[in-house]
Structure 1
């Protein structure tokens, strides 16, 4: 029995030694998958960003020191709620001076009114000339105009004094406070940044070659995934202009009210694909070919020399046993279907 074992073993070694290098590589060949692209009539995955429909950087309209800052980042504020108060003592004094000038102008107007009434009576009794009446009428009109001008100036002073109290323009969430109490606020300097949480959308950049096809399918509902939550959204639009640098067109997807997203969050959108060469090509690979180590997702790409090298990929939607690859692979490349066998190869 032992002699037979050594005889078989020796025969196997002799056979292996008789194989050519090409035959040996063929005997040890990996099972591979050739990457191809397709544009099915369905939904393609795209990375996007959540943004607010209404996001405002509230700035000061006048110069003044910040004396009160009752809000902080994360606070929810109501329309008209105080966001910051500036030192308004000088403005209030000017408003008081303007109000005093209004009183003086009104007194002068009252005197001119009484005088013109007397002059009219005297002229009716033919005690004064037409020239004297005209002069009285002119003085009355001058006093009236001066009073109106003083009232307008006083109103402007009161309005300007209101600029020292910076208030929220609408119900919003404060995202950033750019000053501290004691800082000097200047016209145009950002004080508080806020956004309306009831109106959010997802912005997605798509190739401009796909824009025309997407516009023809605006009636199709699209999917959005944010923080693990999948939503179906019926309303979306394709902007008419393309970015001259990236040659992409922005797609805006309206989010329903009451979501948990915040501006700047990552979102994944599924937009309609368009056939006929104008749509977005999708690449799918078998799920068993994918290697995942912590946050790394990769495949073993097999070169023309038969060597398998680990390559990082970015994945998208999963359809059955197929995984969409968004980046990292090109059509025509080969990948190993058995990552463990590929890892053992020299």
Structure 2
């Protein structure tokens, strides 16, 4: 019995020591000048999207465009049977040649009539011509001129008809109006398409547009933003609209924002639009989350985004409490995320103060009261508690 008591007594100091401190990386809570921002949603849209239609009806004889094909402006999407129009074009061109021949004939007749009239006029001046013959010759000249004018107009009519038929024949080949990707193909080879029927659904490649729905109560802030959009272009200006592409997690800054001044009656929102450059990963239809500035620049608590945890009780971070030189203990501090910018987030919390160290790496395995040891020093140059100098932080990655 005595040896059991001795063994228990020897084990108590070891149990009292607990687990060793967990190595973690920390970052300081800062107070920085930022803007209140409202979280809104939107989507990416193609700059151009159209249902390419046919101007002529006919049988589809070739359909080179297929779903997913990338096409350039002017590439052939579809060919219709144009044999009948080919014959009509040939007939119209022959009619033009016939009209031109008739004009040459009537030019010759006019020259002949003018020559006869000049001869009779000369004879009448010598009293050697009948006045009636002279009058008849003058009438013949006028008639010849009218017939020549008629032949000239006939040529114009024939050329116009030939041009129209040629245009109709050209329209039997449907071409891409811009660079894009074929989304859907409607007819197949052998199908009949009527005038105005859809051939393909085409979306443009290159830049895409971000369409974001803004609540009507933020209209004034957006007007000020758009008016000041050209003042600076340094990627970190106050008042910029920042967005995260939900599918990729990439943060982008929306520049050259324009508003569509129509409020939807159901949602009481209006859209803003900005063009994003082509990066090969942005696709029309992707959703995005944006943060729209709604106030002037003011100091806010900010923490690294990697420090933010989410659990059943809400959003929180682990704060290192204890001596700065030795091991500390992880304490849970609840907070509300106001908005994100770059790799940081503006937060509201009664349990955080500027200068507090929050865990940014290794926090997944922590629990309240867990012993921790910071393996990194807080980077030099971070603002001290209450320091609001330096302007608003950059928001793009």
**In which range does the TM-score fall when normalised by the shorter chain?**
0.5 to 0.7
Matches within 5 A, 1:185-200: 185-200=193-208
Would you say 1:251 and 2:269 are equivalent positions?
Answer: no
CA deviation map 1:89-108 (0-9, x unaligned): 11111111111111111111
Would you say 1:109 and 2:128 are equivalent positions?
Answer: no
Matches within 5 A, 1:65-76: 65-76=59-70
RMSD across aligned positions (CA)? 2.9
SS in 1 for 2:64: coil
The offset of 1:319, in angstroms, is 5.5
Whether the aligned pair in 2 keeps the contact of 1:63 and 1:184 (CA below 8 Å) is yes
Alpha-carbon distance between aligned partners in 2 of 1:243 and 1:120, rounded to the nearest angstrom: 76
Q: Which runs of 5+ in 1 are unaligned?
A: 1-39, 276-285, 292-297, 301-314, 324-339, 341-346
User: Aligned to 1:150, which of 148, 154, 158?
Assistant: 158
Alpha-carbon distance between aligned partners in 2 of 1:138 and 1:237, rounded to the nearest angstrom: 62
Q: Which runs of 5+ in 2 are unaligned?
A: 1-33, 121-133, 230-238, 297-306, 316-337, 349-366, 368-397
User: Aligned to 2:223, which of 215, 221, 235?
Assistant: 215
Size of the aligned set, in residue pairs, is: 258
CA deviation map 1:194-228 (0-9, x unaligned): 12222311111111121122111122322222222
Alpha-carbon distance between aligned partners in 2 of 1:246 and 1:203, rounded to the nearest angstrom: 15
Alpha-carbon distance between aligned partners in 2 of 1:263 and 1:320, rounded to the nearest angstrom: 28
Whether the aligned pair in 2 keeps the contact of 1:287 and 1:322 (CA below 8 Å) is no
Would you say 1:131 and 2:134 are equivalent positions?
Answer: no
Task: Select the structure with the greater relative contact order (CA < 8 A; seq sep ≥ 6).
Answer: 2
Alpha-carbon distance between aligned partners in 1 of 2:220 and 2:261, rounded to the nearest angstrom: 10
Alpha-carbon distance between aligned partners in 1 of 2:215 and 2:72, rounded to the nearest angstrom: 40
Would you say 1:224 and 2:243 are equivalent positions?
Answer: yes
Would you say 1:48 and 2:42 are equivalent positions?
Answer: yes
SS in 2 for 1:241: coil
CA deviation map 1:91-128 (0-9, x unaligned): 11111111111111111111111111111122122265
Alpha-carbon distance between aligned partners in 2 of 1:87 and 1:180, rounded to the nearest angstrom: 13
